[in-house]
């Protein structure tokens, strides 16, 4: 089987909802950076964000301070770190993924929150719309759920007799769960039998593959912090089960996966630095939208 990769951008940006809070004299503006996976998993994305900040004139330790925390796919750690950022009164919280953004929004209605990537922030109830998010939350959407049908088409090219589909989606992430439901609906419309085990933590991945045995010909993997953190394990299990899989992020291909179709996540993380820049400079544009370059 020839490995292929399909990637395109489907992202749009929301507007900045507020003016940054006035800085205390002598205090560096502080970014609370909550990585939802691990430093290693997010290395390329994070590097793009930091590099873009430097291009915009923001250097950690010189004219800004960046406080890093890494949740490693854990919702519990996410909530703890968000609470810490609020106590420390950081000037902006930068994170990604439905659970982290929801936890941040629940913890503060004052500190600006920039999400670097989400699938459906409107459907998750975190912003009013992409054009006018309202409140203190803004960021970039990859609109991954809207590509579910295309990913299934690509799987059918690889597995022409595909009739049994397995779906991996984090049930605790409303953003990813929405993608999972749309994928399941699209799959059933095509006449596929669907196996979608409930995954809520890393320990659920191995039992999920036990459910796939004998009932699945290919996999659809809806990436999120939990899944991204365990991508090596998922790829290894898929290979051992001889299950072709499609993902929505290039990093899975770099880890040895078969193919992906989705947004340019590195570019989205890079563009999130522009949001932070404008917030720190006190800008308050009422409307903004855009698309990043396609990934190659």
Residue 286 pLDDT > 50, yes or no? no
3-class SS of residue 162: coil
pLDDT, position 23: 45
For tokens 């993380």, name the residue: 269
Q: Model-level pTM?
A: 0.76
> CB–CB of 187/152 below 8 Å?
yes
Q: How far apart are alpha carbons 42 and 70 in whole angstroms?
A: 10
Q: What is the pLDDT of residues 51-85, one digit of tens each?
A: 999 999 999 999 999 999 999 888 889 999 999 99
Q: How far apart are alpha carbons 10 and 57 in whole angstroms?
A: 28
Task: Give CA torsion, residues 119, 121, 123, 129, to 10 deg.
Answer: -130
Residue 139 pLDDT > 80, yes or no? yes
Domains and CATH numbers, the chain: 12-143+264-280 (3.40.50.2300), 145-260 (3.40.50.2300)
Q: What is the pLDDT of residues 97-129, one digit of tens each?
A: 788 898 999 999 889 999 998 877 777 777 777
134 compared with 229, residue with greater pLDDT? 229
Which CA distances in Å does 36 have to 5, 8, 55, 248? 25, 23, 24, 17
Out of 38-47, 111-120, 127-136, which region has the weakest mean confidence (pLDDT)? 127-136
pLDDT, position 9: 37
The closest alpha carbon to 70, from 55, 53, 82, 88, belongs to 82
Q: What is the pLDDT of residues 158-203, one digit of tens each?
A: 999 999 999 998 888 877 777 888 888 899 999 999 999 989 988 9
> CB–CB of 255/202 below 8 Å?
no
Out of 3-17, 29-43, 101-115, 261-275, which region has the weakest mean confidence (pLDDT)? 3-17
Q: How far apart are alpha carbons 61 and 76 in whole angstroms?
A: 29
């Amino acid at each position: 089987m020839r490995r292929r990769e399909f990637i395109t951008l489907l992202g749009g940006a929301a507007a900045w909802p507020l003016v940054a809070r006035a800085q205390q004299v002598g205090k560096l503006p502080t970014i609370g950076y909550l990585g939802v996976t691990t430093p290693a998993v997010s290395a390329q994305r994070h590097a793009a964000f930091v590099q873009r900040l430097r291009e915009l004139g923001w250097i950690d330790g010189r004219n800004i301070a960046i406080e890093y925390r890494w949740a490693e796919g854990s919702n519990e750690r996410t909530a703890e770190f968000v609470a810490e950022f609020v106590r420390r009164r950081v000037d902006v919280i930068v994170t990604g993924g439905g659970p982290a953004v929801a936890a941040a929004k629940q913890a503060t209605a004052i500190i600006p929150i920039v999400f670097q990537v989400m699938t459906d922030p409107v459907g998750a109830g975190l912003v009013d719309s992409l054009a006018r998010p309202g409140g203190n939350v803004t960021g970039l959407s990859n609109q991954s759920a809207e590509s579910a049908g295309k990913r299934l088409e690509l799987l059918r090219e690889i597995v022409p007799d595909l009739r049994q589909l397995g779906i991996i989606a984090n049930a605790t992430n409303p953003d990813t769960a929405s993608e999972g439901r749309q994928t399941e609906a699209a799959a059933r419309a095509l006449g596929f039998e669907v196996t979608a085990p409930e995954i809520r933590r890393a320990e659920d991945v191995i039992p999920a593959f036990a459910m796939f045995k004998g009932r699945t010909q290919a996999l659809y993997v809806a990436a999120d912090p939990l899944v991204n953190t365990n991508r090596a394990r998922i790829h290894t299990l898929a290979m051992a089960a001889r299950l072709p899989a499609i993902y929505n992020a290039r990093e899975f291909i770099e880890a040895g996966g078969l193919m992906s179709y989705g947004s340019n996540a590195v570019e989205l993380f890079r563009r999130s630095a522009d949001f932070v820049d404008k917030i720190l400079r006190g800008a308050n544009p009422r409307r903004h939208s855009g698309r990043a370059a396609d990934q190659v």
